[in-house]
Amino acid sequence: MKKALIPILLLLAIAVFVVIPSQRDSKAIENITAGLTDEQTPIRPNSFLLDWSSNAYVPPGYLGKALAARNSLIRVVAVPIDPSIKEPEKLSYAWRINGKKALADSGLGRAVLKFKATGWPGETFKIKCQIYDSADKLLTDKTITITLANPQILLYDPLGNYAFKNSITAKTDQKLRFLAVPFFFRSNDPADIDYVWQFNGQKLDNLENKELNRFILSIPPGEISEPFTRQLNISVTDRNDRLQQATANLQIEIQP
């Protein structure tokens, strides 16, 4: 009977050994999913950098960065810059947003963090990423700050393809063409943005153009003795988020 019990006891011992993790394994799991609980010194502090992008609207051909807009989707990537790191997918990543653990985006091979940038222009998101090797050693600890930008609208000359500054000059009996170009709105299509044009405080009907972001201002003929100034205003609102608005003003000096 005792001989029969020996194999059973041996199997139970093996099962307990397999199922119950060691303290070190438990610590590794905790670190990977929740970030460091004990202070460690990174062994390769300059092995990664954090790069981010936003799906906020920028016009085609724009070479700058799409800044983070209210309610836009932000994507942060941990990019290895140390040539000795050959397999970053075998590392573990622990992400935090403003100190809060991003557990759903953390873990083995999880080098990308995605989140929706709720908040107001000027608010910031502090993104932290701790990266561990297979031995639960902290390779690097990186932090970046992302600031929500104000949406903007610029007035362009559609024929010359340049942006107007603060003022322009014009003559009587002249047509001026304007193109309103939005930047850093949540909507990715300019057609989802409302445009309201005003000239010298009076709302203008954009009847000559089906594209509401384009406007033709006709200055009537006539003789004037001295120059005078009028103001063109454009106000834009995102239909998908009415709290996203921007304005632009242009002084027009009409000369004899």
DSSP string, 180-226: EEEES-S-SSGGGEEEEEEETTEE----S-SSTTEEEEEEPP---SS
Three-state DSSP class for 9? helix
Q: pLDDT by residue (tens digit) across 118-173?
A: 999 999 999 999 999 999 999 999 999 999 999 999 999 988 778 998 999 999 99
Task: Quote the tokens at residue 115.
Answer: 């989140």
Using DSSP, state whether 8 is helix, strand or coil.
helix
pLDDT tens track for 94-130: 999 999 999 999 999 999 999 999 999 999 999 999 9
Residue 11 has pLDDT above 70, yes or no: no
Closest CA to 94 of 85, 103, 81: 103
Question: Burial, 110: exposed, middle or buried (Cβ in 10 Å; 0-12, 13-18, 19+)?
Answer: buried
pLDDT tens for 25-45 read: 344 445 554 444 446 778 888
Residue with tokens 């559609």: 158
Minimal CA–CA distance to 154: which of 182, 195, 173?
A: 182
Q: What is the mean pLDDT of residues 71-88?
A: 95
Please state, in angstroms and rounded to a whole number, the distance separating the CA atoms of residues 98 and 30.
19
Position 79, amino acid: V
Q: From 3.40.50.2300, 2.60.40.10, 2.40.40.20, 3.30.365.10, which CATH number describes the 40-147 domain? A: 2.60.40.10
List the CATH code of the domain at 152-255.
2.60.40.10
Distance CA 111, CA 95 (A): 9
Q: Which residues in 8-42 are b (16+ Cβ under 10 Å) and which e?
A: eeeeeeeeeeeeeeeeeeeebeebbbebeeeeeeb
The confidence band for 206, taking pLDDT boundaries of 50, 70 and 90, is low
**Rounded to 5 degrees, what are φ and ψ at 45?**
-65, -25
- Going through the chain in order, the beta strands assigned E by DSSP cover 48-54, 73-80, 92-97, 100-101, 107-108, 112-116, 124-132, 138-147, 152-157, 162-163, 167-171, 174-183, 193-199, 202-203, 214-219, 228-238, 241-255
Residues of the chain with CATH 2.60.40.10: 40-147, 152-255
